[in-house]
Chains A and B, each alone.
Chain A
Amino acid sequence: GESVGLHLPTLSVQEGDNSIINCAYSNSASDYFIWYKQESGKGPQFIIDIRSNMDKRQGQRVTVLLNKTVKHLSLQIAATQPGDSAVYFCAENDYKLSFGAGTTVTVRA
């Protein structure tokens, strides 16, 4: 089976609110995790990554949290905008990129 998964397949969020997308992984040896965003009709696009020696990393409006104890990863998007509507994937990368199933985020105006 796959080693990376997401808790919820869909998330609806009001524009301006914060979004939290969750992901669980099973391989405790994983040491590198990435979040990708896939807009409709396009390929996945890198958002942010984190290594296992960190528990938090911030980018522009995005924060990734890593909890190695429970093997959980989350992506927080601040002040969600209509352009954030997309499918979000977490992935782990050891020798290959293994993706979870994706969470579809819909932003309500």
Chain B
Amino acid sequence: DTAVSQTPKYLVTQMGNDKSIKCEQNLGHDTMYWYKQDSKKFLKIMFSYNNKELIINETVPNRFSPKSPDKAHLNLHINSLELGDSAVYFCASSLTRNPGNEQFFGPGTRLTVL
């Protein structure tokens, strides 16, 4: 069984559209994350949720809105997509918010904005 899963794997859309990426973890973890990886492979945290509560928001434009309906799910909604949003988005989870806990990453969602 996949520990951290994301849908869709690929997303191609036009500028100005609104899209969502979904993430689910079946590890029973309390904490979930969204990361953005750009074309140069640089990986940067965007958000973190602990038990459905936002704990990290790394100055991401407010066009990005994460939602956690329960602690096993963390979805990412993006409004008014821009060319610069093209990237690979990774979801991750960890047992708790303790920095010493290993983070488990999903397979990524490659978003292409045309």
Contact = CB atoms under 8 A, between A and B. Distances in A.
Interface of A: 32, 34, 38, 41-46, 49, 87, 89, 93-99, 101-102, 104
Interface string B84-101: 000000101000000110
Interface of B: 4, 33, 40-45, 48, 56, 58, 90, 92, 99-100, 102-108
A84 B56 CA distance: 32
A97 B32 CA distance: 12
23 contacts: A32-B100, A38-B41, A42-B107, A43-B105, A43-B106, A43-B108, A44-B43, A44-B90, A46-B102, A87-B41, A89-B43, A93-B100, A94-B99, A95-B99, A97-B33, A97-B99, A98-B45, A99-B43, A101-B40, A101-B41, A101-B42, A102-B41, A102-B42
